[in-house]
Structure 1
Amino acid sequence: MNTTLAEDTVKQQAIENVVRMSGVSKVFPNGNVAVDNVNIDIAEGEFISFVGPSGCGKSTIFKMISGLIDNTQGSIEILGSQMNPMQQKRTNVGFVFQDSTLLPWRSVLENVMLPLEFQKKSKKEKIEEAAQALELVGLKDYTKSLPRQLSGGMKMRVSIARALVAKPKLLLMDEPFGALDEITRQSLQSELLRIWESQKMTVLFITHNVFEAVYLSTRVAVMTPSPGKVASALDVRLPFPRNDEVRTTHEFSDIVAQVSRDLKF
């Protein structure tokens, strides 16, 4: 009985830590050490942003978590398992890249349906689920549109819908708003928080914008210059739901200042 209880406790702790990186390093074949001895636990339901100078290994960390590349040393546990994420159900991890990466010849609905194409569901079910994902990001009236007919912000919404359609437990976002104007960017930040709160996902987000990181996150992980390490992980003690007024508070400014100080190595 005690052994079973202990095993259940360990299993529950593993689930609560959606991502656990222990002593993780990545050395590329050319000898470049991109990431060195990264240690971080990310709990279920967190929204954690990674900030740091260009080339510090933020994207490399995300690619290792998603299974696109292997780590050289250390261990990475995803959803309680040390298996390569690509060996798990593909619905567990979603990825939104810097570019919307939409297929230009496919409609918005058809682009969102891509992750469902190899699932054993009827075409009607796939269409319904893709339509629901588009409604979630505010694009229910654009199902038949082609990517060239959309603005940059709308294309990114489609990319987010495509990542959400498979209902991932973990969503990785690599500078998704970097190429957008500030007005569109702030609008999508608020939309992303609304989606995160409604879907109860764990989100890992890369940005170079400290204000964006603080506005979105429950924690901000600050990385050192290459080879990248996690120098600090600051709690963002601002209440949810958040609105634009939060950006003008002293509390917000204080956290931005702390993250900015930690970025100065």
Structure 2
Amino acid sequence: MERLEVSELNFYFGFTQILNNINFELNRGEVIGIVGPSGGGKTTLLKLCANLLDVTEGTIKNSFDSSAFAFQDARLLPWKTVIENIMLPIVSQESYKKAYNKACEIALRFGLEQKDFMKYPKDLSGGMRQRVNFARALITKPKLLFLDEPFSALDIGLKRELQDYVLSSCKEFNTSVLFITHDLMEAIRISDKVLLLKSDPGEIIKTYTIDQPKGQRDDKYIFTKTQEFLNDYDVIKTFEIKAIS
């Protein structure tokens, strides 16, 4: 069975320990969200899992046969059009025409219009750039998707719309997702499990399982569950917040 296994993972920048004894598993079709305060090592952990940083202590075993990464910053190539950016992961593997048609199809799925296809990144709004970012990440139908706070700079409506696109794609292709966020409501809406990462150094101190099926999590459920989280001792201590009633 395809899975990502992280065992006894430690990581240092120089003499500073960033991550301490990280252990978790991500199975096929599962969505895991990682929450925690800024500077806690969430992005470092994600990059280690995506093989963008070298593991020096501990092990990460990834048996998924394909993966993709969507960053908080869309990181589009400024000299390429919308469609050319979306095509990048597949253009060397398929004919130009086939890659172009696939890029157009997924661009429309992510809410882009044909009039946008030949625009360059400088001509796009932040929300449109993120649509392109997601379309590029998902065009290969990856088995494992890494998301580095890709919704954080979006307005509420667009944030939910793109979350829905990701969830529907994951359901359709049985994609697994590992993502990081500061937003507890976002984590509750999308995740099967939520890992709470404290800082200095980053360490998983609690794992929360969201039992309600994702398709049945309406706003009332998400608000209620978020309040439960905000009253949880470990969340309060980690984020240094006051409990709410």
TM-score (norm 1): 0.82
Confirm or deny that 1:189 pairs with 2:163.
yes
1:264 maps to a residue whose letter is I
CA distance in structure 2 between the aligned counterparts of 1:248 and 1:151, rounded to whole angstroms: 31
Matched residue count? 234
Q: Pairwise mapping of residues 11-50 of structure 1 onto structure 2 (< 5 A)?
A: 12=1, 15=2, 18-28=3-13, 30-50=14-34
- Note if 1:127 corresponds to 2:97: no
- Residue in 1 that maps onto 2:124: 150
Aligned partners of 2:10 and 2:57 also within 8 Å: yes
Residues 213 and 240 of structure 1: CA distance in aligned 2, closer, same or farther (over 3 Å): closer
Query: What is the CA distance between 1:189 and its match in structure 2?
Result: 2.1
Equivalent position SS for 1:104: coil
Letter of the structure 2 residue corresponding to residue 27 of structure 1: Y
CA distance in 2, matches of 1:232, 1:129: 41
Moved more, 135-144 or 160-169: 135-144
Quote how far apart the aligned CAs of 1:125 are.
Answer: 1.9
Structure 1 stretches of 4+ moved >4 Å: none
Q: 1:259 aligns with which of 224, 229, 241?
A: 229
CA distance in 1, matches of 2:102, 2:69: 18
* Structure 2: distance between partners of 1:172 and 1:187: 18
Deviations 1:40-81 (A, max 9, x none): 01111011110001111110111111111112211101016x
Q: Give the match for residue 169 of structure 1.
A: 143
Matches within 5 A, 1:169-248: 169-242=143-216, 246-248=218-220
Deviations 1:205-249 (A, max 9, x none): 111010111011111111111211111121112223256xx1223
Q: Which residue of 2 aligns with 1:104?
A: 78
Question: Where does 1:19-98 land on structure 2 (aligned, <5 Å)?
Answer: 19-28=4-13, 30-79=14-63, 92-98=66-72
Which letter maps to 1:216? I
Q: Shift in Å at residue 258 of structure 1?
A: 3.9
- CA gap 1:131/1:51 in 2 versus in 1, 3 angstroms: same
- Give secondary structure in 2 for the equivalent of 1:231: strand
What SS does the aligned partner of 1:132 have?
helix
Please report the TM-score for the alignment, with normalisation by the length of structure 2: 0.88
Displacement, 1:23? 0.2
Identify if the C-alpha distance between structure 1 residues 96 and 158 changes in structure 2 by more than 3 Å, giving closer, same or farther: same
**Contact preservation (8 Å) 1:236, 1:255:** no
SS at match of 2:236: coil
| Identity score, percent | 35
CA contact (8 A) 2:35 2:195 kept: yes
C-alpha distance in structure 2 between counterparts of 1:192 and 1:165, whole Å: 12
Letter in 1 for 2:180: I
Q: In structure 2, what residue type is equivalent to 1:239? A: P
AA in 2 matched with 1:129: K
Q: Which amino acid aligns with 1:158?
A: V
Query: Which one is further off, 65-74 or 110-119?
Result: 110-119
Question: In structure 2, what is the Cα distance between the partners aligned to 1:31 and 1:118?
Answer: 41
Structure 2 SS opposite 1:45: coil
Calculate the aligned-residue CA RMSD, in Å.
Answer: 1.8
Question: Unaligned regions of 5+ residues in structure 2, if any?
Answer: 238-245
